[in-house]
Amino acid sequence: MEKLLVRGKKRLVGEVNISGAKNAAVAVLPAAVMCSGVSVLENLPDIEDVACICTTIEKLGGTCTYRDSHTLEIDCSKGIAYSATFEEVERIRASYYFLGALLARYKKAEVAMPGGCNFGKRPIDLHLKGFRALGATVIEEDGVVKAYADKLVGTSIYMDQVSVGATINVMLAATMAEGTTTIENAAKEPHVVDTANYLNMMGANIKGAGTDVIRIKGVSELHQAQYAIIPDQIEAGTYMIAAAITGGDVVVNNIIPKHMDSLTAKLEEMNVGIEERDESIRVTATHPLRGIDVKTMSYPGFPTDLQPQMAALLSICVGKSVLTENVWENRYQYMDELRKMGAKVDVNGRVATIEGVPHFVGAEVSATDLRAGAAMILAALAAEGETIIDGLRYIDRGYENVEHKFNAMGADIVRI
Ligand code: EPZ
């Protein structure tokens, strides 16, 4: 099994180019199967989750052809199957978007229950509630979600909880429903907006994505479109925190700085230097940095997907920091791994209290999930000595060329 060997205490200096957003790509790709023509998607990240969704599309009967390493042509014009119950579907969480997409196009969909990172209960009740409100009959049988409708009819849907997945999934289904659907208490994440923009380019009529009320006037068909995925907010944030944790000087390129506001505010509070440009941010840091409090929230709040990386940084800041995880019930499993490297953390439910230590020490640790894996790399970069990280399959799911991007800025990371 592959592992990463990281030799620590290397200051990162240089530039890094951010790839297309994983969580946008894994929603936009299933949306492409709704179109009866050929779609072209640009700026797709070269990561395992994207490969997995492409395999799903091909197994359904579509074709995926790369024009170059980041531009993909998707052809579902001859029609595809509505039943996705094979292994790839179970591997990743975002497979649930095939439910909304296939239900929109065929008014029937069968999709195996999705897997993905494990941080407590990950229900999809709000997705199913939304499909039912649109007129579908939904049942769960032998690990497969089955949804059928004679027709989908627009309606008003209030999300009991802000959910990225449920907002996007219901938006997909409502795009080809009869009449108007209103989603209230919608998620506002950049990937919700990106999916709506792509659907609109295919001829959908969606207004309000990025606010908490989305209005969708159903259309009967979607036409082909060419679309570029937005930059990855979480990958960008990971490299920004990497600059801070190594006392480095890094320009993070190809980003939308506005998406980084909640992180830049927190880094500035810690005394990290931030210089915002049109499509990049320069991050400079001189240790010691100050411990602070961070609460995760849905966008535009501080993203839960940067919580583990931030915990690594706070572990070597001066003083006490308090992290509050408001999105997932159990996203601190990685703390045991950070402790192996010398972090002093006390976890009580959703609150983690971190006492800063002067430095990490290298150890053998595991990536317990995707962002936890990113946190291990960051801690290892700042650590004295060598760190070996296993569980690479998680990291490869969401970070393109991870060791190459870090090594180009002076890190010493080898895949062994
Ligand atoms: C998306 O997951 C992301 N995944 C996650 O990123 C991210 O952590 C999460 O949003 C929050 O930002 C993708 O976009 C593929 P939610 P999602 O529905 O859509 C509860 C990463 O590391 N909920 O917004 O599954 C749920 O339990 C991944 O890149 C219900 O109760 O998250 C959670 O507490 C990991 N019922 C909260 O809502 C539902 O039907 C937010 O979940 C759905 C969700």
User: What spacing in Å lies between the alpha carbon of 398 and ligand 1's midpoint?
Assistant: 15
Would you state the pLDDT for residue 129?
A: 97
In 55-199 the beta strands, taken as DSSP E runs, fall at: 63-68, 71-75, 83-84, 108-112, 137-141, 144-148, 156-158, 180-184
Atom 19 (ligand 1) nearest CA: 165
Looking at residue 116, its pLDDT comes to 58
184 and 209 assigned to the same domain: yes
Q: Is 334 within 8 Å of 310 (Cβ atoms)?
A: no
Cis check for the bond before 300: say yes or no (omega within 30 of 0): yes
Whether 117 sits among the annotated catalytic residues: the reply is yes
384: its two tokens: 């004295």
How would residue 383 be classed by pLDDT, with cut points 50, 70 and 90? very high
pLDDT of residue 157: 98
Residues 249 and 372 in one domain: yes
- Residue 399's domain is classified under what CATH number? 3.65.10.10
Residues 238, 186 share a domain: no
pTM, entire model: 0.97
Average pLDDT over the chain, rounded to an integer: 96
Tell me what the mean pLDDT of segment 314-321 comes to.
98
Does residue 323 carry a pLDDT above 80?
Answer: yes
Q: Which atom of ligand 1 is nearest to the CA of 164?
A: 24
Answer yes or no: do 172 and 80 share one domain: yes
Number of domains in the chain: 2
Domain boundary among 228, 259, 282: 228
Answer with the one of 228, 251, 285 that is the final residue of a domain. 228
Residue 57 domain boundaries: 22-228
Is the confidence at residue 148, as pLDDT, over 70? yes
Q: Which atom of ligand 1 is nearest to the CA of 26?
A: 15
Q: What spacing in Å lies between the alpha carbon of 213 and ligand 1's midpoint?
A: 18
pLDDT of 235 reads 98
> How confident is the model at residue 117, as a pLDDT?
59
* Closest Cα to atom 39 of ligand 1: 124
**Exposed, middle or buried, 132 (CB in 10 Å: 0-12/13-18/19+)?**
middle
Q: What's residue 319's pLDDT?
A: 97
Of ligand 1's listed atoms, the one at least distance from the Cα of 168 is 19
264, 198: one domain: no
Q: Is the peptide bond before 288 cis (omega within 30 degrees of 0)?
A: yes
Tell me: pLDDT of 306 over 90: yes
Query: Looking at the structure, do residues 74 and 162 belong to the same domain, yes or no?
Result: yes
Please tell me whether residues 260 and 220 are part of one structural domain: no
Beta-strand ranges (E) seen in 142-218 are 144-148, 156-158, 180-184, 205-207, 213-217
**Same domain, yes or no, for 56 and 130?**
yes
| Sheet containing 344-348, strands listed edge to edge, beginning at the edge strand earlier in sequence | 293-295, 320-324, 351-355, 344-348
pLDDT category of residue 114 using cuts at 50, 70 and 90: confident
Give the pocket of ligand 1 (CB within 6 Å): 22-23, 26, 93-94, 117, 121-127, 161, 163-166, 187, 304-305, 327-328, 370-371, 398
Give dist(CA 388, CA 393) in Å, integer.
14
257 and 218 share a domain?
Answer: no
Q: Which of 117, 177, 121, 71 is nearest to 329 (CA)?
A: 121
Structure confidence by residue, pLDDT tens digits, 58-110: 999 999 999 999 999 999 999 999 999 888 888 888 999 999 999 999 999 99
Same domain, 198 and 178: yes
Q: How far is the CA of 34 from the centre of ligand 1 (A)?
A: 23
**Shared domain check, 242 and 191:** no
DSSP, collapsed to helix, strand or coil, labels residue 336 as helix
Mark which of 164, 199, 228 sits at the end of a domain.
228
- Among protein residues, the one with the nearest Cα to ligand 1's atom 5 is 305
Atom number, ligand 1, closest to the C-alpha of residue 161: 38
User: Do 267 and 217 share a structural domain?
Assistant: no
Residues 6 or more apart whose CB falls under 8 angstroms from that of 238 comprise: 306, 309, 374, 378, 399
Average confidence (pLDDT) over 383-388: 98
Mutate to test the pocket of ligand 1, among 161, 189, 295, 370 (most ligand atoms within 8 A of CB): 161
The CA 77 to ligand 1 mean position distance, Å, reads: 31
